[in-house]
Amino acid sequence: MPTTNMTPTTRSAHTTAGAPPTHTALAAAAGRAAELAAESATAADSGNRLSPAVAEALVDAGFARHLVGERWGGSAARRGAVQDLAQALATVGAGCMSAAWCGGVLAAVGRMCSHLPEEGQHELWGDGPDVPLAGSLAPSGVVREVPGGWRLSGTWDFASGVDHAHWTMVGGMVRGADDAPALRHFVLPSRAYTVLDTWHNVGLRGTGSNSLLVDDVFVPTHRSFAHHTVLTGEPDAAAPRLHRVPLKLINGLFFVAPGIGAVEGALHAWTEWTAKRVEVNGVRTSSRPGVRLTLARAAASVGAARLLVERAAAEADEAEVTHALTLSTTRDYSTAVDLLLDAVNGLLRMSGARGQARSSPIQRVWRDVHCMAGHAALQPDVNADAWARHALGEE
């Protein structure tokens, strides 16, 4: 599947620890990762994980460091960082949506772990910011408070990219203020857990979103942080802007942007293929009005989705952060997903049986986008209702 035309250059991104990629934006550096991901997209889909080469290329491109603090050599303080990330995820997504998804997870977990205490951040990034991370956010397992930290046991699911991670963040419920349950996150080195082969889903197969098994592992206080600090943003005014904004302002972008690239890539492949197709009666497939209408609608839908996400990324970078902005942004992420679903559904329907073959990139993208649409952060009823209540003055 072709890459998008948003990538101005490609590079072989091997950097020294702590050194930023050589004077180039992430979106440009993502080109090489996109090429490798496209070459092995079918193998990732059938093997239920990325190849080590693709996983390494994502880190080399700068996804892991992109939202890490500048003091550790990261790029979180760089102007336009969210817009740059959106373009990079779409670039990789055009080649392999699973690879782009894992790139988004690298950036997202890096941002979340930036809420660790100083000692915890140093343990992760003291030797440089290019550290592959994974995460399983939903609370699970058993968390027991002990002197100096907590002990964890249990299974955590859906940790995208965990096979290649050096550290993985997991969520668990603890006793909070007034003894009310509160969600905390705990960061574990790869030696502290066992990866279970549990990821056999219909879509996004290459993400390798396997489970991890933890058996009575001690996590010190400096490798844990409260979820509410991620939801509301870091209160320290000296922290980078992207650590101070609410999670929901950018959370959907990590998942929607890969889908934009994937549908753009599928549209390009479908258009080239359809231009050459001939029906059994000898008529060119492209002469059918329904086929041309599908092409026009799909192009308009993915273009509209891109505009919504680009606006959201620009606002996350520059706009005054308000409650209303956060609500409208989450609404727009869900709307962008609906547009992508409309586009890819039309392409698959007009592809016939050949488009449903396992070798077809159309059916793979169709499965991946539907899997993405089920993510909890993108549910249309929840996001639309929250915005509508605010607009109607009911909250």
pLDDT the model gives residue 327: 97
pLDDT for 44 equals: 97
| Residues 307 and 236: beta-carbon distance below 8 Å | no
Task: Provide the terminal-to-terminal Cα distance of the chain, rounded to the nearest Å.
Answer: 46
pTM of the model: 0.92
Query: For residue 336, what is the enclosing H or E element?
Result: helix 323-349
Q: What is the pLDDT of residue 4?
A: 36
Name 84's Cβ contacts closer than 8 Å, sequence gap at least 6: 25, 26, 27, 66, 78
pLDDT at position 14 is 33
- How high is the pLDDT of residue 175? 86
The whole-number pLDDT of residue 76 equals 93
Rg (alpha carbons) of the chain, rounded to whole number:
21
Give the pLDDT score at 385. Answer: 96
Torsion of CA 295, 96, 114, 223, to 10 degrees: 140
Q: What is the mean pLDDT of the chain?
A: 92
Residues of the chain with pLDDT under 50: 1-24
Q: Which pLDDT belongs to residue 176?
A: 76
Which pLDDT belongs to residue 28? 81
Report yes or no: 280 and 273 within 8 Å, Cβ to Cβ: no
